[in-house]
Amino acid sequence: MHNEVALISTVAVSFVAAAIFGFIADRLRLPPLVGYLVAGIAMGPFTPGFIADTNLAGQLAEMGVILLMFGVGLHFSTSELLAVRRIAVPGAIVQILLATLAGVALCSFWGWGLGAGIVFGLSLSVASTVVLLKALEERNLVNSANGRVAVGWLIVEDLAMVLALVLLPTLADSLGTSGAAAAHGSGSIAMTIGLTLLKVAVFAFIAIYIGPRIVPWLLTLIARTGSRELFTLSVLAIALGIAYGSAELFGVSFALGAFFAGVIMSESNLSHRAAADSLPLQNAFSVLFFISVGMLFDPSVLVREPVAVAATLFLIIVGKSIIASAIVLILRYPIAMSLTVAAGLAQVGEFSFILAGLGVSLGLLPKEGQDLILAGAILSITLNAFVFSGAEWGHKLVGRLWPAFSERHGKQKHETLSRELAKIRAAGEERDRKHEQKLKQLIDTFPLFSQMDRNSRDELFLLFRPKTATPGEKVIRVGDRGDGMYFVVAGSVEVRLEDAAVQLEPGAFFGEMALLSGGRRTADVVAIDFCQFLVLDRRDFNLFASRYPGLRTAVTAMARERSEMNVSRHNGD
Ligand code: CMP
């Protein structure tokens, strides 16, 4: 491969191979992601033929994770996250602890040290975001209470991994490793934990309190320019910018940063558009995630160590599932939730590779362990669809064997949680509805706008600045320069011409003549009631006129009619 075009060839070959293998997988009634994984294996260094740049593919995959997490964040509000915390926080923590213990046990059976066991166990304890989300999406579960719990659980796992990644180098020393660790070993563990927690806390504070004040404002600012491409670009800039910035500054993962970027943006009225704009990129780049996993995989490990691979896979699929579903049931949530969470998390992915890589570089984990983790990842991702089917089958079986248990266990808590989530969702919908209603009112009041499509109305709405006036207040003074055009929403105004007065009611507009002619105001306009206006400033008026030629024509026609009327009245006709 020519090095100069490494990026292009990696992307091109990845897309072509993924499309072909994805199609074949679909024909074979397998999930398309199995096809993507196979495409990755084919492009990887362990199989003959084309070899793509593993490093580049890994970075592109990271883009996929960022965009995907951003997408989830867009559909997730802070209150929803808080609503599932009572199950997600203890669930994820206990699952990580128990899964890690199981990993340590397995490793000590293989004769590996404690450090290897911890890295191995931790790697297997955390699931892949991409895989979980694709699985939930496919089953239409993302917005269900069970789906929300699974995603919340994953977010807590991600947070725990942030801590694990910074602690590993420090711990490496005390766990007795090669010299590579010594350099990292300085500084007490407590200091490291404290500093990490502090950074995460600062990040959370900014994400929760400052982000929602800045990001929606920024989006509105950009949307007002009316440039669609600038809007899409800004959505991506905010997503990737926050992801990268938070990783650099606060040491949280790209994915977590992107998730919060999405959550922050979800508060804006423009979040639907942001979601629609970023979806195609999310889809394309998440495919690259599977390709890059495939590329890292060395199939020979299946022949070299079949038993160890089977044990790893068993721990990921069966061990983790049993742990997760037991926790959910013990916390008194229903069986259906326990099975969804268990199936969704019965796989490992991106974080595991990072942890395993770090473990090897610190001399904690033997290379063999990394190969096993990769094999476990690719197999558990491939089998995940079957695990989900198994969980559904298991649910039916429990329902048949123990109908009373299946019916009653966790019912109350589930109902409370569902109600709480429904309330949060309803509040969001209410906000959307109010926005819709405002737009509809605008259309009803101003027939001028009735011909516009949805997106244009949304944009136009952003251009307006609300303004009020009290009776007797002079809104426009004759002879002034034109600074804006006014739409009367409520109350009435009087246009005081030299020899007559014209009253304007809600639905009418004024102040257009000076803007169109570039000259001075032709009359005084005085409020005769308490008035509400929507104002288009001069700059926005020009934008509006060039963007909607139909509206410009209508406004110009009205201005001409008015000035003709004024001239003929003046001439005493
Ligand atoms: P402008 O000249 O910018 O400021 C005064 C406004 O009064 C003018 O734009 C029109 O919008 C409005 N106006 C002027 N003449 C009439 C009229 N005959 N009937 C209604 N409105 C008018």
Q: HEC states along 382-406? A: HHHHHHHHHHHHHHHHHHHHCHHHH
Q: What is the per-residue pLDDT for 23?
A: 96
Give me ligand 1 centre to Cα 469, in Å.
17
Buried b (16+ CB within 10 A) or exposed e, 225-238: ebeeeebbebbbeb
d(CA 74, CA 70): 6
Name the pTM for this structure.
0.77
CA of 496 to the centre of ligand 1 (A): 9
Give 522 Cα–ligand 1 centroid separation in angstroms.
6
pLDDT under 70 in the chain at which residues?
A: 1-2, 175-187, 572-573
Strands (E), 285-398: none
- Residue 398 Cα distances to 341, 394, 403, angstroms: 16, 6, 7
pLDDT digits (tens, 9 = 90+) for 173-220: 776 554 444 444 455 777 878 888 888 888 888 888 888 889 888 988
Report the pLDDT value the prediction gives residue 180, as an integer from 0 to 100: 44
* 8 A C-beta contact, residue 103 and residue 97: no
pLDDT at residue 213 in the model: 87
Q: Is there an atom of ligand 1 within 6 Å of 252 CB?
A: no
Q: Which residues pair with 536 in a beta bridge?
A: 485
**495/559 Cα distance (integer angstroms):** 13
Residue 182 has a pLDDT of 45
Q: Give the C-alpha separation, 288 to 180, whole Å.
A: 32
pLDDT in tens, 136-180: 988 999 889 999 999 999 989 988 887 888 788 877 777 655 444
For ligand 1, atom 8, the nearest C-alpha belongs to: 511
Determine whether 454 is exposed, middle or buried from the number of CB atoms within 10 Å of its CB (0-12, 13-18, 19+).
exposed
The residue whose two tokens read 């109600």 is 419
Q: How many angstroms separate the alpha carbon of residue 553 from the centre of ligand 1? A: 17
- Which distant-in-sequence residues (6+ apart) come within 8 Å of 231 by Cβ? 219, 222, 223, 225, 273, 277
Which residue's alpha carbon is at the smallest distance from atom 11 of ligand 1?
510
CB 394 within 8 A of CB 338: no
495 token code pair = 């246009």
Nearest-CA residue for atom 18 of ligand 1: 562
**Alpha helical stretches, state H, 5-142:** 6-27, 32-43, 54-74, 78-83, 85-109, 114-125, 129-138
Alpha carbon 302 to its chain centroid, in Å, reads 36
What pLDDT is recorded for position 452?
78
Among 240, 193, 220, 189, which Cα is nearest to 67's?
240
Is 525 a pocket residue for ligand 1 (Cβ < 6 Å)?
A: yes
Distance from residue 488's CA to the centre of ligand 1 (Å) = 13
Q: What is the pLDDT of residue 175?
A: 67
Q: How far is the CA of 381 from the centre of ligand 1 (A)?
A: 68
Place of tokens 């000035």: 563
- Would you state the pLDDT for residue 573? 63
According to the model, what pLDDT value does residue 396 have? 93
Nearest ligand 1 atom to the CA of 509 is 11
Q: Domains in the chain, ordered, with CATH? A: 3-27+53-418 (1.20.1530.20), 463-572 (2.60.120.10)
Ligand 1 centre from 453 Cα, in Å? 28
Longest dimension (CA), the chain: 108
Question: For residue 333, what are its two tokens?
Answer: 């949530």
Q: How many residues in the chain? A: 573
Residue 190, classified by CB atoms within 10 Å of its CB into exposed (0-12), middle (13-18) or buried (19+), is: exposed
Q: Pocket of ligand 1, candidates 488, 521, 556, 562: which has the most ligand atoms within 8 Å of its Cβ, to mutate?
A: 562
Nearest atom (ligand 1) to Cα of 497: 15
**Token reading at 357:** 């890589």
User: Which pLDDT score is estimated for 32?
Assistant: 86
Phi and psi at residue 522, in whole multiples of 5°? Answer: -95, -10
Atom of ligand 1 nearest to the CA of 566: 18
| Distance from Cα 279 to the centre of ligand 1, integer Å | 46
Q: What is the pLDDT of residue 306?
A: 96
- First and final CA of the chain: distance in angstroms? 84
The order of strands in the sheet holding 501-504 is 474-476, 524-527, 493-496, 501-504
β pairing state of 501-504 and 524-527: unpaired
Work out the percent of the chain whose per-residue pLDDT is above 90: 45
Burial class (CB in 10 A: 0-12, 13-18, 19+), 170: buried
Whole-angstrom distance, CA of residue 261 vs CA of residue 240: 9
* C-beta 524 within 6 A of ligand 1: no
CB 315 within 8 A of CB 103: yes
